[in-house]
Amino acid sequence: MPLLKVRNIETYYGPIMAIKGVSLDIEEGAFVTILGANGSGKTTILKTISGIMEPQKGTIEFMGKPIQRLDPDKIVKLGIAHVPEGREIFARLSVRDNLAMGYYLRRDTDGIKSDLEMIYNYFPILKQRATQLAGNFSGGEQQMLAIARALMARPKILLMDEPSLGLSPKYTIDIFNIIKKINDEQKTTILMVEQNANMALATAHFGYILELGRFVLEGSCDHLRENEDVQEFYLGIKEQSVRGQRRWKKKKKWR
């Protein structure tokens, strides 16, 4: 049974359908990425899973239980943590207080202490600057803090929205290396939406291509990198052309 099972969800912004019959399965321990152009619906999928938005149709099951009508705080308690686009750290709070916001629902003192040490091992800068205001951090450091805050909830699955957004090439590489280590070493399941297709496909195990609210292609990341359409419109071209959108005639699938 998949850890996360999404079936035929449709989510709207007012009268506008943002995602159209999206379905996906994520196994425990997997690292899955969703690629797509701006406005394709990537962020909406994550918001729908985490309860920020409610689907008009379809079902979402986590560990075999439906969650599509639950409030976001209840979904967090079940084990789903969301690192939002733009990081959204608490700029006027210290690094330490930001991390505390990640574990405020927990009561296992020893576990919290152990997880803090784990976080500081992955992100040494957070330990070095634990008393400083988060708003004084660079974009890359804030992204590290946002990921660390989510991990302090000890999630079973981590939803990540554009972790490379606005980062320098160096910080992008650092962030992706850390995300990969978290998946490999902690066995944390990851669902990541990302525009940097090269980095995403080099890091994740399985990928989905999203166009205009629908999945048009899916498969292992190795197979997706070999696909001519993916190579032409995602691996080297920043924006997909209208001609490219018309070429996705039907969804293809590799296992």
CATH code at position 174: 3.40.50.300
Classify the C-alpha dihedral 64-65-69-71 as positive or negative: negative
Helix (H) or strand (E) holding 215: strand 214-220
- Alpha helical stretches, state H, 103-196: 109-122, 124-128, 139-151, 169-186
**Total count of domains within the chain:** 1
pLDDT tens digits, the chain, 255 residues: what are they?
A: 899 999 999 999 999 999 999 999 999 999 999 999 888 999 999 999 999 999 999 999 999 999 999 999 999 999 999 999 887 899 999 999 999 999 988 889 999 999 999 999 999 999 999 999 999 999 889 999 999 999 999 999 999 999 988 888 888 999 999 999 999 999 999 999 998 999 999 999 999 999 999 999 999 999 999 999 899 888 864 444 444 444 554 555 554
Q: How far apart are CA 206 and CA 226, in angstroms?
A: 13
In a domain, 216, yes or no: no
By the 8 A CB rule, do 230 and 37 touch? no
CA distances from 18 to 163, 189, 214 (A): 21, 25, 9
Classify the C-alpha dihedral 229-231-234-239 as positive or negative: negative
In a domain, 215, yes or no: no
In a domain, 241, yes or no: no
Range of the domain at 182: 4-39+50-201
For residue 227, how many other CB atoms are within 10 A of its CB?
17
